[in-house]
A and B are shown apart, each in its own frame.
Chain A
Amino acid sequence: MMGLHFIHLFENDFYALFPELFLTCTTMLLLMFGVVWSTSKAEGYPILTHTIAWLSVWSLVCAFGLTIHSPFSVMVSFYNTFVIDELTFLLKAMVLCSATAAMLMSMEYLKTSMLNIFEYSILVLLSTISMLLLISSYDFISMYLAIEMQSLCFYVLAASKRHSEFSTEAGLKYFLLGAFSSGVLLFGCSLVYGYTGLTNFEDIAKCLAGSALFQTHHSFLHLGMGLIMIGFLFKLTAAPFHFWAPDVYEGSPTSVTAFFAITPKIALLGVFLRLLLGSFYDLLFAWQYVLFFCSICSLFIGAFGAMAQKKIKRLLVYSSIGHVGYLLIGICCGTVEGLQAVLLYLILYIFMTVNVFTIVLSCIDHSKTFRLKYIQDLGLLGQTHPVLALTFSCTLFSMAGIPPLAGFCSKFYLFFAAMGSSLYGLALFGVLSSVVSCFYYIRLIKIMYFEQPSQLVTYGAIDHEKAILLGITTTVIVFFFLCPHSLFLWTYKVAYMFLG
């Protein structure tokens, strides 16, 4: 007993979390490299931002490779606290891809307008690790630790442009409200734990199995679940809890905003799905109302809030709030089709967001001083940069849900799933709000082609990384309708494995 070599205890478990392990070690190495080299007098205090950014992109790619070549497809590891299955496989691959994309699109931004802090890439890597862990988490404690790790990185990232008051304000706001939402989440977890004595997701699901029959006894469990949901909806920027998002997203440096908008939603949504459709599936009729309400609120605010916005980043935030509303419709269904629609929507949404933010980041003039900030700055982009304008128009049409672009397919499938589980009101509201949101998407296109900007700027050429990203994402958005079956089948498989 004394000579217990505990490394053998978790021998296989380490393989299960190998990408995370790899990324953690790489991050530590990069951190040490950065700390030692950037302070070395002999090397003349080199600025390592660019080097470390590329190295971290490379390590993300390696981690992606490790993820898709995972030796196990389904496994519960580390004393039932982490899980890998088809869902985590899909979501982890997505997280790694989107983090890579976010890093790639911010290369030029890092060079021109960020402070010379190499820790930016380190923090992005660390938050990616936390998101991977969050997707895998199978226990309240691991979930909470992963969420805290992720949010702590985000607070710092949001405030990373130290000389900008907006950025500092964004960091502080994010910190306060993030801490508040974490507190609510933790309170919910403690209520559930106090009631059931369980922290494991699967155990909770077993404990609640068939409990819908004697619903009245579970008032505090419902309360706990509600608080957990509120915590998550806070972090997902769903509507009644969205008020922090516009300020934070606007104030943070644009590359950070891009990262915030693209990546964390995948991870949070992943664990949210696992909680609701896994652990609390027997309380479906209880949480459905909450999500129903939040979804309608998000759709409403996403559609009407965006109309009043003058700044491009704020507009995109409101648009993302609307998209969260659509995603919630899918979760609301609680069916395999609903889950599939959510996953499909999420994948295509990531493509569209990557595209939009790449465009926003590439709108910089030749002298690298003027950046796109207001919507009006897009004026006459159709003349000055026709390809960019065309790409942007395609993406906006896709976001608005105009057939036959990718956004239409995902929305169509989502409404179909909602009808399938007789959520007619929600489906109707979704269609209506997508009609309303068409207005501001098309307004952007109108500005690009027909309106005069207040000051005429010609935007410079796009660098390689962004060009590649734009190429890939635009191709997917435009030509998705030609062969949607592979993605359909994959998401169906994932959803079926998870719920079926």
Chain B
Amino acid sequence: MNLVLFYMFASFALLAGIMVIRAKNPVYSVLFLILVFCNVSGLLLLINLDFFAMVFLVVYVGAIAVLFLFVVMMLNVKLAEINDSILRYLPVGGVFGLLFFGEIFLLLEQDLVPVMTYETQSILSIMESITMYSVFGVLSSATLLFSLFSQPWNSLTIFSQWQKHFIQIQDTIANYNTFVQEQALTVNDLEYVVWPYTMEQTTTIHTIGHVVYTYYMVFFILASIILLIAMIGSIVLTMHKGVFVKRQDVFEQNTRDFSKTLRKVKSL
């Protein structure tokens, strides 16, 4: 279930990410960007980082992307302007993409800390199982179709046979997985404490709060000062204090004394 959701979110995020840069209309780009954010927060949910997922939504989608969309809509960018050839940006973008790719695929194998073998092997087996499923799917669907057309009277048996094969494949993968996991656990003779089991369970927010407000308090304050600077900066650069602009002073209006402002010209 989680795996299905993971692939769903991840593939949607990737597709939307590609659409962000490929969409001709900048408004579409921003909308796809929002889709990317939503999918990524779904991914965060899958690894039980519920707080981060929600904050991601609130901050990125609820605040930043709205302003983004605002600006893009107001600017009214011409559609034809963004028709640059993809080849211009491919080298740089490709290099960075390859770097990320390399980071993910190679770093998992050559890790400095050898305790993590359990994690890496099961991921590899997931990759292998996907290839197995896909090979099986392609081949079996071909034979299935062929046999269905050639001997339609036997379709029920054919289906049941196909199902049996499918279950076989599933079992094989499951066995393989458990085998690999057992192997990984036994291969490592390193004695280490599985800290997650000895820890008390708390929610993400409590954990973050405990760390951020104690050990990493300085980072928290620094980040807030950065935000303050951003605020000062935007005020400095955009606020024009016109001397001749008339402003409404509500407080003054409300505190005006009726008897002082109104006077009779002539008493009747």
Contacts and interface: CB of A to CB of B under 8 A. Distances in A.
A255 to B, nearest CB: 15
Contact of A142 (B99, B219, B236): B219
Contacts of B223: 145
Contacts of B102: 220
Given A159-B237, A220-B106, A31 B219 contact: no
Interface string B216-240: 1111001101100110110111000
A220 to B, nearest CB: 6
A186 to B, nearest CB: 13
Contacts of A123: 229, 232-233, 236
B113 A126 contact: no
B232 A81 contact: no
Contacts of B218: 78, 81-82, 142
B103 interface: yes
A223 B214 contact: no
A152 B222 contact: no
Contact of A149 (B103, B113, B226, B235): B226
Contacts of B225: 24, 126, 129, 149
Given A81-B218, A145-B223, A145-B226, A195 B232 contact: no
B222 A155 contact: no
A145 B232 contact: no
Given A9-B214, A196-B112, A153 B106 contact: no
A69 to B, nearest CB: 22
A133 interface: yes
B160 interface: no
A152 B112 contact: no
Contact of A133 (B222, B237, B243): B222
Q: Size class of A's contact patch?
A: 35 or more
Interface of B is mostly: helix
A137 to B, nearest CB: 10
A148 B110 CA distance: 32
A148 B107 CA distance: 28
Interface in A95-118: 117
B237 A156 contact: yes
B177 to A, nearest CB: 26
A122 B229 CA distance: 9
A195 B112 contact: yes
Nearest to B235: A119
A196 B107 CA distance: 10
B215 interface: yes
Contacts of A152: 226, 229-230, 233
B68 interface: no
A162 interface: yes
A160 B232 CA distance: 12
B103 A197 contact: no
Nearest to A220: B107
B213 interface: yes
Interface string A32-67: 000000000000010000000000000000000000
A424 interface: no
A272 to B, nearest CB: 20
B215 A79 contact: yes
Contacts of B107: 194-195, 220
A119 B111 CA distance: 48
Contacts of B216: 79, 81, 141
Interface string A194-210: 11110000000001000
B219 A145 contact: yes
A157 to B, nearest CB: 9
A10 interface: yes
A485 interface: no
Nearest to B102: A220
A146 interface: yes
Nearest to A198: B112
Interface in A278-334: none
B215 to A, nearest CB: 4
A6 B209 CA distance: 13
Contacts of B214: 6, 9
B236 A160 contact: yes
Contacts of A6: 213-214, 217
Contacts of A149: 222, 225-226, 229
A196 B113 CA distance: 8
A220 B229 contact: no
Given A79-B216, A162-B237, A220-B102, A122 B232 contact: yes
Contacts of B213: 6
Interface string B88-109: 0000000000010011001100
B219 A81 contact: yes
Contacts of B236: 117, 119, 123, 156, 160
Contacts of A445: none
A191 interface: yes
B237 A191 contact: no
19 contacts: A45-B241, A78-B218, A81-B219, A119-B232, A119-B235, A123-B232, A123-B233, A123-B236, A142-B218, A146-B222, A148-B226, A152-B233, A153-B233, A156-B229, A171-B237, A194-B103, A196-B112, A207-B112, A220-B102
Q: Which 10 A-B pairs have the closest CB atoms?
A: A156-B233, A79-B215, A145-B222, A119-B236, A78-B218, A152-B229, A149-B226, A6-B214, A194-B107, A196-B112
Given A133-B222, A142-B222, 18 more contacts: A6-B213, A6-B217, A81-B216, A82-B218, A119-B236, A123-B232, A123-B233, A126-B225, A126-B229, A141-B216, A149-B225, A155-B233, A162-B237, A195-B107, A197-B113, A220-B102, A220-B103, A223-B99
